[in-house]
């Protein structure tokens, strides 16, 4: 089940909200946990037991870690729990990748296993890891209520595609929260905006990419549009999901942290990664980068730390070499920025944005292409090294068809609309227009969902 589906919008969500608000406070977490389990079971029935096992093993481990605090057994339990969590993730997500590469390197013929990766395993694994590590570090206390803890792990708003919610960020709200009318209204608005970003922008840009890829006579401009399209599609797809997750959380009384902060206006790649997938960046910073020494070490070790983090960041996204290269690509750029050019970039107010968006677009070409040979061919064509015409009649025809959605996507990737809203929020007429606008987005999104073949969220595969 996905958020941008009729089943979720008009059956599951109304029912779960109704049940949630009619039961007494002591049963709200149980209803949310039960609804979340049904939500996951609907799409991943085979792996529902794995989700429950993850809840159980991390719940018990945290209690044992706290019970044997300051003893060697506490550390042994932590290491065992990390191995269990990462072992399951590596087996289900990466086992065949390792076998394929062993076969390729050693010319062996080891059979691949028929493994299907559970949706959302990367996200809920990182959430449970952060929880047990934080219990070990004494940042949070182990939750003694299995239903409350399982509600945190399984909570359907962020279960299958993030953001990665830390237990420390919502532990108080798990025990004691109150949904105000303003919170609920803000949540509904945020959810509808995210739905519109996914259905009315990301999906249509996905159709645009397919149209340009199928041109009989392709041009340099067509490749530029496709490259920009990859970036805009990924941004609106994933940020749209995060908006919906944050909005749903607000409806149930939870305040999830932001996951995106207009990354496409970044002034450097360093700035971009402060704004893109913030929950993942902060996870690797707090649990990998800082424990390795962060930037409080000599230059060689600092470079090593950056490489390790970005190798893991790329690998986290998928069992494919293009993701690993994508991560290392960013690692190399970040090292160059930190040691050579970041101060200069901060002084170039226009050029730094051009520099950033070009490198980001190239990165998402690497991210979206299945093999590196395809990436090199794409980049040669996009930069005009294969003697293609810069523009032709087919490119102009399809550009005219999609120019409005491209313009909306570019405007929507900047804070312009947010600035206008903040200036007008005390205007009663604007508030009415805002409500009407949300209803219009919901109706239009519903029509598009019914009318078109549905595209699942791109980050489900990670």
Catalytic residue positions?
Answer: 317
Q: Concatenate the DSSP letters of all residues of 155-203 into one string.
A: -TTTTTT-----HHHHHHHHHS----HHHHHHHHHHHHHHHHIIIIIIH
Instruction: Look up residue 236 and give its two tokens.
Output: 């609106």
SS3 content of the chain, % helix, strand, coil (to 5): 75, 0, 25
User: What CA–CA distances, in Å, run from 190 to 14, 235, 245, 303?
Assistant: 17, 16, 9, 39
Q: Which residues contact 281 (CB under 8 A, 6 or more apart)?
A: 273, 274
Neighbours of 435 (CB within 10 A): 12
In sequence order, the 6+-apart residues with CB closer than 8 A to the CB of 198 are 3, 4, 236, 237, 240, 241, 244, 457
Question: Is the backbone peptide bond immediately before 436 cis, with ω within 30 degrees of 0?
Answer: no
Peptide bond connecting 154 to the previous residue in cis, omega within 30 degrees of 0: no
- Among 342, 344, 162, 155, smallest CA distance to 251 is for 155
What CA–CA distance (Å, rounded) separates 191 from 199?
12
The C-alpha atoms of residue 141 and residue 160 are separated, in whole angstroms, by 25
For residue 286, the Cα-to-chain-centroid distance in whole angstroms is 18
Max CA distance (Å), the chain? 73
Instruction: Map tokens 């509904």 to a residue.
Output: 188
Instruction: Report how far residue 132's alpha carbon sits from residue 150's, in angstroms, rounded to the nearest whole number.
Output: 13
Displacement of CA 247 from its chain's centroid (Å): 15
């Amino acid at each position: 089940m996905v958020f941008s589906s009729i089943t979720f919008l008009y059956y599951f969500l109304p029912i779960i909200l109704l049940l949630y608000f009619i039961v007494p406070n002591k049963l709200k977490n149980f209803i949310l946990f039960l609804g979340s389990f049904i939500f996951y079971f609907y799409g991943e029935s085979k792996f529902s037991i794995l989700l429950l096992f993850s809840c159980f093993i991390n719940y018990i481990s945290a209690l044992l870690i706290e019970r044997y605090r300051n003893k060697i057994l506490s550390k042994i339990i932590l290491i065992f729990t990390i191995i269990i969590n990462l072992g399951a993730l590596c087996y289900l997500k990466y086992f065949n990748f390792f076998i394929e590469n062993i076969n390729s390197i050693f010319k062996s013929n080891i059979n691949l296993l028929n493994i299907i990766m559970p949706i959302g395993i990367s996200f809920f694994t990182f959430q449970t890891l952060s929880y047990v590590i934080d219990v070990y570090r004494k940042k949070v206390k182990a939750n003694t209520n299995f239903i409350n803890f399982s509600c945190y792990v399984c909570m359907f708003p962020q279960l299958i595609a993030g953001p990665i919610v830390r237990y420390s960020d919502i532990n108080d709200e798990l025990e004691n929260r109150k949904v105000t009318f303003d919170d609920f209204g803000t949540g509904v608005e945020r959810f509808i905006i995210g739905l519109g970003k996914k259905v009315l922008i990301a999906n249509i840009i996905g159709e645009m990419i397919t149209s340009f890829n199928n041109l009989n006579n392709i041009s340099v401009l067509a490749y530029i549009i496709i490259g920009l399209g990859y970036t805009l599609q990924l941004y609106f797809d994933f940020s749209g999901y995060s908006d919906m997750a944050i909005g749903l959380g607000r409806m149930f009384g939870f305040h999830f942290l932001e996951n995106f902060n207009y990354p496409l206006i970044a002034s450097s790649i360093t700035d971009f990664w402060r704004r893109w997938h913030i929950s993942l960046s902060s996870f690797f910073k707090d649990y990998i980068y800082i424990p390795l020494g962060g930037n409080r070490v000599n230059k060689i070790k600092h470079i090593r730390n950056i490489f390790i983090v970005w190798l893991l960041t790329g690998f986290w996204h998928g069992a494919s070499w293009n993701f690993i290269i994508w991560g290392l690509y960013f690692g190399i750029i970040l090292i160059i920025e930190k040691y050579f050019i970041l101060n200069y970039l901060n002084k170039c107010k226009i050029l730094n944005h051009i520099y950033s968006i070009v490198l980001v677009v190239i990165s998402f070409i690497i991210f979206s292409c299945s093999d590196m040979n395809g990436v090199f061919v794409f980049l040669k064509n996009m930069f005009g090294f294969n003697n293609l015409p810069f523009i032709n009649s087919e490119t102009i025809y399809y550009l005219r068809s999609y120019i409005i959605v491209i313009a909306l996507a570019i405007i929507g990737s900047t804070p312009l609309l947010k600035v206008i809203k903040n200036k007008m929020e005390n205007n009663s007429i604007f508030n009415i227009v805002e409500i009407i606008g949300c209803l219009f987005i919901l109706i239009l999104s519903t029509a598009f969902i019914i009318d078109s073949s549905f595209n699942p969220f791109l980050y489900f595969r990670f």
